[in-house]
């Protein structure tokens, strides 16, 4: 048994030195304090990295198909009334969403940017007590109201009971509503008076659009949109204005859900129009993004980059449709972010490397200083140091 213990004792890689042979120096004490502080700082730095998740980034080809793209927006027009502005979306597949109203909220703003209380429909007192029927006569007390669509009926029994119904029927036909005062419904509801009452007001529009995951555009523009000879146009004659102030502030614009670290370059961007009218264009490159947190929860979202361009128009000659346009295209590359913790063995290995590395370097430095001082002292004793 003693022989085995002696063999194990001979394997000791850390032979002990009798304390009588220790020589403690001031330089050694300073190096010990400094190295201890360095080891302490490096240890806590490594501990912080171990406790917090690290994010790994990868680029892969986007092979997803048949998905939709959610566009979240919040845009303020300080000089464009809510009754004028409309939202349209279309893509290269030919799908169109004209004058979108669902999932979109409009807030009227005064000149100071304060929200105005919602005003009930039918602004202004009716100027005609008995509405005009489709057959040409006035509504009697025992009749059901069925207003005329003024030639825009899709079927013989179609009725347009409001100014909005007539405008929608005209839009489907691809016609412009040049003079709303000639339309009985618009005259009764005070359509032009409503526009005049909102003169000088602004509008905050927010909500979301659900579109196909292909290249396309969405835009905010005055007037109701319609197709005419396969061309997208807006009915601006009804507003009887020569120019529109498209100054705007983008409070938020995002393609998809929020995820940690996302940066949307158009958030809080403000643009002031200096020319009478024109088209302001944003060209966006959308990059599909997948974010996976440490718990395994996955967020499907997008990032984007942007460039801007303004196309002006002369007063009275609207060569291009006035509005704020967002043209987006999809990148074929998908970015994946994956959160993951450093393993405990990796942490332990790094801690050992810190302790061993600092201890070894400080030992080499202490030995160099000690033997240097000893050599200088010896030369001074024999008078050879100069």
- The predicted-structure confidence for 318-349, as pLDDT tens digits, reads as follows 456 788 999 999 999 999 999 888 888 888 89
Q: How far is CA 172 from the centre of its chain?
A: 33
Determine the 3-state secondary structure of 27 from DSSP.
helix
Q: Which of 248, 256, 136, 236 is nearest to 195 (CA)?
A: 236
Query: What is the predicted pLDDT for the residue at 122?
Result: 35
Query: What is the predicted pLDDT for the residue at 76?
Result: 94
In this prediction, residues 155-159 reach a mean pLDDT of 78
Query: What is the predicted pLDDT for the residue at 148?
Result: 79
Judged against a pLDDT cut of 60, whether residue 137 lies above it is answered with: no
pTM confidence score: 0.66
How far, in Å, CA of 312 to CA of 110, rounded?
Answer: 27
Query: What is the predicted pLDDT for the residue at 3?
Result: 77
Judged against a pLDDT cut of 70, whether residue 125 lies above it is answered with: no
In this prediction, residues 266-277 reach a mean pLDDT of 87
pLDDT band of 4, cuts 50, 70, 90:
confident
In this prediction, residues 186-204 reach a mean pLDDT of 75
Judged against a pLDDT cut of 50, whether residue 211 lies above it is answered with: yes
Query: What is the predicted pLDDT for the residue at 128?
Result: 43
Determine the 3-state secondary structure of 104 from DSSP.
strand
Judged against a pLDDT cut of 50, whether residue 119 lies above it is answered with: no
In this prediction, residues 120-141 reach a mean pLDDT of 47
Range in 54-58, 67-71, 74-78, 372-376 the model is least confident about:
372-376
Query: What is the predicted pLDDT for the residue at 167?
Result: 76
What the block records as the tokens of 199 is 């003169």
Range in 30-39, 81-90, 187-196, 364-373 the model is least confident about:
187-196
Query: What is the predicted pLDDT for the residue at 118?
Result: 45
Determine the 3-state secondary structure of 337 from DSSP.
strand
pLDDT band of 52, cuts 50, 70, 90:
confident
Q: Which of 285, 257, 255, 280 is nearest to 269 (CA)?
A: 280
Across all residues in the chain, what is the average pLDDT?
80
pLDDT digits (tens, 9 = 90+) for 20-29: 666 777 877 8
- Higher-confidence residue of 128 and 145: namely 145
At residue 157's C-alpha, the angle toward residues 156 and 161, to 5°, is: 120
């Amino acid at each position: 048994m003693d022989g085995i213990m002696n063999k194990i004792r001979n394997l000791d890689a850390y032979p002990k030195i009798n304390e009588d042979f220790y020589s403690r120096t001031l330089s050694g004490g300073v190096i010990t304090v400094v190295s201890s502080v360095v080891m302490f700082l490096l240890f806590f730095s490594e501990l912080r990295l171990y406790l917090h998740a690290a994010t790994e980034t990868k680029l892969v080809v986007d092979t997803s198909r048949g998905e939709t793209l959610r566009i979240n927006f919040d845009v303020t027009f300080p000089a464009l009334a809510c009754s004028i502005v409309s939202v349209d979306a279309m893509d290269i597949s030919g799908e169109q969403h004209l004058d979108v109203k669902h999932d979109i909220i409009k807030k009227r703003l005064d000149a100071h940017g304060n929200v105005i209380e919602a005003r009930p429909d039918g602004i202004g007192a009716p100027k005609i007590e008995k509405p005009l029927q489709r057959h040409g006569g006035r509504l009697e007390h025992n009749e059901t109201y069925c207003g005329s669509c003024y030639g825009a009926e899709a079927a013989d029994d179609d009725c347009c009971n409001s100014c909005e119904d007539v405008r929608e029927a005209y839009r489907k036909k691809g016609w412009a509503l040049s003079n709303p005062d000639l339309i009985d419904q618009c005259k009764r509801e005070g359509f032009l008076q409503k526009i005049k009452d909102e003169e000088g007001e602004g509008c905050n529009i927010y909500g979301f659009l659900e579109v196909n995951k292909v290249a396309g555009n969405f835009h905010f523009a005055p007037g109701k949109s319609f197709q005419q000879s396969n061309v997208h146009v807006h009915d601006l004659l009804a507003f009887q204005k020569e120019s529109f102030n498209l100054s705007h502030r983008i409070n938020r614009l995002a393609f998809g859900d929020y995820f940690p670290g996302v940066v949307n370059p158009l958030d809080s961007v403000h643009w002031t129009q200096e020319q009478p009218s024109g088209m302001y264009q944003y060209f966006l490159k959308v990059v599909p993004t997948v974010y996976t947190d440490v718990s395994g929860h996955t967020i499907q979202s997008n990032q984007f980059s942007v460039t801007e361009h303004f196309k002006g128009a002369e007063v009275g000659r609207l060569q291009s449709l006035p509005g704020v346009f967002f043209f987006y295209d999809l990148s074929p590359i998908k970015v994946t972010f994956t959160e993951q913790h450093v393993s405990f063995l990796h942490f332990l290995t790094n801690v050992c490397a810190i302790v061993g590395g600092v201890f070894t370097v400080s030992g080499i430095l202490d030995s160099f200083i000690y033997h240097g001082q000893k050599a200088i002292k010896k030369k001074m004793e024999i008078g050879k140091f100069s």
